[in-house]
Amino acid sequence: MKQHHEDQPLIIVAGGIGITPFISIAQMAVERQQTVTFLYSTKHEKDAIYFKHQVGRFSDTQIVDIMQKNGIYLLAGPHAMTKYWRNFLKNRGVADSSIYFEPFEW
């Protein structure tokens, strides 16, 4: 069964190459006027081309500040990053069904 989340805020947390799958998702959400919060971090400034981003990891406080009731959370990036934020969100009451992630495990 296909889920529709167009009426829910979209919160994207990406690290490094994890941004790739989210570019078109964010663009589509903006086109349909869905609320989007997009956080992107890289290890080095040279790694983030064309995006406003943060060098280094996001703090717990930064994530708490963008959390939204009924939000859909998309996570992608290094395995340790996605694992950490997935557990972080779950420990703060976000349902598994509201967290989607791509761990980039090879």
40: number of Cβ within 10 Å: 19
Give the per-residue pLDDT at 4: 61
Ranges of residues in the chain with a pLDDT under 70 are 1-6, 48-53, 103-106
Report residue 6: phi and psi, to 5°.
-60, -25
Q: What is the pLDDT of residue 2?
A: 44
What separation, in Å, do the N-terminal and C-terminal C-alpha atoms of the chain show? 28
